[in-house]
Amino acid sequence: MDFKATDIASFLNGEIVGDSDARVSNVSKIEDGKPGTLAFLANPKYEHYIYTTKASVVLVNKGFSPKEEISATLIKVDDAYQAFASLLDLYAQAKASMKQGIEQPSYIAETATLGEDGYVGAFAYIGNNASIGNNVKIYPQVHVGDNVKIGNDCVLYPGAKIYDDCVIGNRCIVHSGAVIGSDGFGFAPQEDGTFKKIHQIGNAVLEDDVEIGANTTIDCGTMDSTIIRKGVKLDNLIQIAHNVEVGDNSVMAAQTGISGSAKVGKNCMFGGQVGLGGHITIGDNVTLGAQSGVVSNLKSNQTLLGSPAIEIKTAMRAYVLLKDLPEIRRDVLQLKKTINTDKKK
């Protein structure tokens, strides 16, 4: 795909400084810019690269004033970073629009319904009574189970698995290897020491604008639904157990694990390898640093760190002391020895 500077400026409502006929067909970092690519400058720390970059077009903030000569064509916008993100959206949409039709071999049940302008890749499977919306891209080797409902403008990347009865809203993205609606970890201990499986008959629900990372698993509810609310973004390799509810616009980094029946509020941010115990409630706007462990309820509007997680300023002070513990122990033992010696006198 090839774009002129004038086309880009028109889309972004930007102002061109330089060659309005400059063309780009790819993007690059400003420090690694190549001819025919578009880059952006948002962080002043990278300004020195703009004077040497080989990128043909660079997005800059409107307030930018160059201190040296620049060979690249500039497009001045209100926010270079947001403008660049908008262009990536446009590029992704244009690329996705190339995928249409039904490839063979693939299987689509006679009772399944597909919307307009969709794509079904080779070796994909769509089960009985599945309902697929408009402009949905189902890549090769995706499994869509019986009675699944998928809204409009969704993308299911290769190898994603959607179990029976699950519901996916509009504009959702499910990356490769993700599993939606697998059995929750439910087993009842028996008198003979074995475990009896508790069948999980619920489903998983992804509301609108949810993105699920590669190899992330969202278990179905035991009897009702595991719910991922609108706008949630989950990284790769995350485990969401049965009957969990994740609130609107919450984000979680890789290797986070949420135990069964935990409730996470709106606009929460979890770093990598965070772990939540089961049957607890996390309030809104809670931030948990990487590797935090939580086993009890948390109120809204907090930032915590550590395992068990504590208020972040307290945690940082504790970590500062942690490295001094050997010396502190030595001093305490010496002090005890001195006190005991004094008592004997």
The pLDDT tens digits of the residues spanning 202-245 come to 999 999 999 999 999 999 999 999 999 999 999 999 999 999 99
List 48, 175, 199, 242, catalytic entry: 242
* CA dihedral over 188, 190, 195, 197, signed as positive or negative: negative
* CA dihedral over 100, 105, 111, 112, signed as positive or negative: negative
- What pLDDT is attached to residue 1? 67
Instruction: Looking at the structure, tell me whether residues 182 and 296 fall in a common domain.
Output: yes
Q: Which residues pair with 206 in a beta bridge?
A: 168, 228
- What pLDDT is attached to residue 164? 98
Instruction: Looking at the structure, tell me whether residues 193 and 265 fall in a common domain.
Output: yes
Question: 278 lies in a domain?
Answer: yes
The verdict on whether 143 is a catalytic residue reads: no
Instruction: Looking at the structure, tell me whether residues 301 and 319 fall in a common domain.
Output: no
Question: 102 lies in a domain?
Answer: no
All residue ranges of the chain with pLDDT < 50 are: none
**For residue 88, what are its two tokens?**
């990536």
CA 83 to chain centre: 21
- The residue from 64, 82, 97 where one domain ends is 97
- What pLDDT is attached to residue 338? 87
Instruction: Looking at the structure, tell me whether residues 177 and 76 fall in a common domain.
Output: no
- Cβ neighbours of residue 285 closer than 8 Å, sequence gap 6 or more: 265, 266, 267, 268, 300, 301, 302
Phi-psi region of 171 (alpha: psi -120 to 50; beta: other; left: phi over 0): left
Query: Cα separation of 177 and 218, whole Å?
Result: 12
Question: 152 lies in a domain?
Answer: no
- What pLDDT is attached to residue 215? 98
CB of 158 closer than 8 Å to CB of 196: no
Instruction: Looking at the structure, tell me whether residues 203 and 320 fall in a common domain.
Output: no
Domain count, the chain: 3
Query: Cα separation of 18 and 308, whole Å?
Result: 56
- Cβ neighbours of residue 129 closer than 8 Å, sequence gap 6 or more: 109, 111, 112, 146, 147
Query: Cα separation of 101 and 119, whole Å?
Result: 5
CB of 133 closer than 8 Å to CB of 115: yes
Bridge-based pairing of strands 167-168 and 203-206 is parallel
Question: 198 lies in a domain?
Answer: yes
Instruction: Looking at the structure, tell me whether residues 229 and 334 fall in a common domain.
Output: no
**For residue 218, what are its two tokens?**
């969202």
Query: Cα separation of 283 and 264, whole Å?
Result: 7
SS (H, E, C) 4-43: EHHHHHHHHCCEEECCCCCEECEECCHHHCCCCEEEEECC
Question: 26 lies in a domain?
Answer: yes
Cα angle, residue 183 at apex, residues 177 and 186 outer, rounded to 5°: 140
As a whole number of Å, the CA-based R_g of the chain is 27
Range of the domain at 213: 160-305
- What pLDDT is attached to residue 295? 96
Instruction: Looking at the structure, tell me whether residues 70 and 195 fall in a common domain.
Output: no
Instruction: Looking at the structure, tell me whether residues 316 and 220 fall in a common domain.
Output: no
Question: 78 lies in a domain?
Answer: yes
- What pLDDT is attached to residue 324? 87
